[in-house]
Structure 1
Amino acid sequence: MRMADDHGISTERPRQGRMTSEQIRRRMFDAALATTGTRGMTLGFPGLQMDDVIAAAGVSKSSVYRLWKSRDAFVGELLNEAAATFADQLSDDRALRTAIELVASRPDLHGTAEGRRRLLLELIRVVLEQNYYSTIDSAAWQSFLATSAALLADDGSENLRRVAETLRRGSERFVEAMASFHEAMARLLGFKLRDNFAGGFTLYTVLGSAIVEGLAVRHLSNPAVTDNFYLGPPTLTDEPTEWAPSAIGFLAIYDTFIVADPDFDPRTIDAYLKELATATGAGSAPPAGT
């Protein structure tokens, strides 16, 4: 029986444990993405079973179908949620940590432009190989790719418009983070963009990312080519060394747009290494020579 006070306002307490619509949405999205986050989603979530997601979310079927009239309606909203989730997982600070450790370990190369160029070449060789294999092994990237592919079926729907906008914002954040990395490496080792290159480190990064992601897509059909290694220019020694295709492709961009800064003072390297290490949460750069 409902009870009311003297003003006619109900004094009945709401049932304990009843979830709001937003809580149900969050549980359903989390349950669905938990599966795609470990395997990588495919276009349209073909393996997604609503009953399985509902069971994993711990919600009632009736409450789910009050929010979404069909599986297609749920998948439409899930695409946008996936776009936001996986776009935010594309970048991390592993490249910066690798660079800090490498540069700190070779103080003998800091003093000359040629030595610093060798270090930068080694950074390109190591980091671009790392980026490529991280990409092809990443469920987040596979899911981001599949979500992007959904845009090919553009039907003018509001769901796909939101997906496109979410992907754009995620891509911009990724490019911004990687552009900051490349700019930091150039500054650290005394290099800069050529004066006649108007695209800045943003375009430099977009071109490099296109190489890595293009090879990652090619890997799906022809891994024998994309996963092979080829002899390339020497880096830390005078001997030719093995380069991944992603690093070879990026090297062409580097050679086209990057030059030594004639005003660079190599005595700034140690201080900037410490600044970068602090920014990554590493605390401090490894001692030089370790």
Structure 2
Amino acid sequence: MTPSYSPGDGPSRPGGPARRRPRLTDEETARRMLDTALAMVHRDGLTVGLDHLGFEDVIRDAGVSRAAVYRRWPYKDLFFGDLLRELAGGAAPAAAPALETTREVLDAVLAAHAGDLATPEGRHDLVTELLRATAVSDFEAVHGSPEWRTYLALQATFLSLPEGDLRADVQAALARSEQRFVERVARGWEAVATALGYRPRPGTGFPVIATLACAAMRGLVLMTLSDPGLLDRRVPANPTAASAAADWSLLGLAAAALAVAYLEPDPDVTWDEARLAALTRTS
């Protein structure tokens, strides 16, 4: 491989007095370069590969010594390999629906339907409405996230990497990111379900539900790349046998199917006045 840099490629001297750049350690230079490139990718998104990212642009924006950069990474491919490791280690969690957002949606629905908590039928309708609302907010948040698009691109980029240390490192980092993403989604499902007196059916659990929910989310996000209308598509339906039909998003229908299949009322929950008051106070 031909080196991307040679001693004659050093920075040109300015015509006026040179402004001395603070001397950084190799580790500080590396951290600045990787952080700058991460910011550029998160801002613009990642295509399949990193060809759109200019090595010299990263050096300029990082404000580091060109000589120090090439001392650390004699070839730009070595830098891009380290950048792929960084991206794979953190892309998915940044795009996961925030637990705080789930709680905000829960509070809003509870505030509007607090009277429904008094009966099993009302609570069932309330859970149904929560599934409709959270599916829309989650889908919009993930679909509009540059980090999520970067994560999808990383999956494709990983498949194109040759066998070796870089491929193994990226695969392991993506697996860890995926696990954190699923765990975060599982906490969102658990927060809503337990607040309204539901539990997973025997033999399953919130991680299983979250894994399937993430798969549905990913599939629909991928499909909207070629068919953007899917994001706004609504289907008149009653997937949970609630008291009335409503217009459902496609992700909402998938979430409702999972809830019907894997959740059931928790027999250990007593809906007395104290529990009703405590739940409505949180909203």
Normalised by the length of structure 2, the TM-score is 0.84
Number of equivalences: 259
Contact persistence 2:239–2:257 (CA under 8 A): no
Given residue 144 of structure 1, which amino acid in structure 2 is its aligned partner? Y
What's the CA shift for 1:16? 9.0
Q: How does 1:80-95 map to 2 (within 5 A)?
A: 80-91=85-96, 92-93=98-99, 94-95=101-102
CA distance, structure 2, for counterparts of residue 118 and residue 38 of structure 1: 40
Q: How does 1:36-185 map to 2 (within 5 A)?
A: 36-91=41-96, 92-93=98-99, 94-185=101-192
Give the percent of matched residue pairs that are identical in Structure 1 and Structure 2: 31
Q: Tell me the equivalent position of 2:29.
A: 24
Normalised by the length of structure 1, the TM-score is 0.82
What's the CA shift for 1:172? 1.1
**What is the DSSP-based 3-state SS (H/G/I as helix, E as strand, rest coil) of the residue aligned with 2:247?**
strand
Instruction: Indicate yes or no: 2:234 matched with 1:229.
Output: yes
Q: Tell me the equivalent position of 1:256.
A: 261
Cα separation, partners in 2 of 1:194 and 1:41, compared to 1, 3 Å: same
Which consecutive residues of structure 2, in runs of 5 or more, have no partner in the other structure?
A: 1-19
Contact persistence 1:188–1:273 (CA under 8 A): no
**What is the DSSP-based 3-state SS (H/G/I as helix, E as strand, rest coil) of the residue aligned with 1:242?**
strand
CA distance, structure 2, for counterparts of residue 16 and residue 141 of structure 1: 36
**What is the DSSP-based 3-state SS (H/G/I as helix, E as strand, rest coil) of the residue aligned with 1:243?**
strand
What's the CA shift for 1:270? 4.3
Contact persistence 1:215–1:246 (CA under 8 A): yes
1:241-272 CA-to-partner distances (Å, cap 9, x unmatched) read: 21110101111111112222234222425435
Instruction: Indicate yes or no: 2:38 matched with 1:33.
Output: yes
Q: Tell me the equivalent position of 2:6.
A: none
What's the CA shift for 1:163? 1.5
CA distance, structure 1, for counterparts of residue 157 and residue 40 of structure 2: 19
What's the CA shift for 1:194? 2.0
Greater mean alpha carbon deviation, residues 85-94 or residues 183-192:
85-94
CA distance, structure 2, for counterparts of residue 24 and residue 272 of structure 1: 51
What's the CA shift for 1:175? 1.1
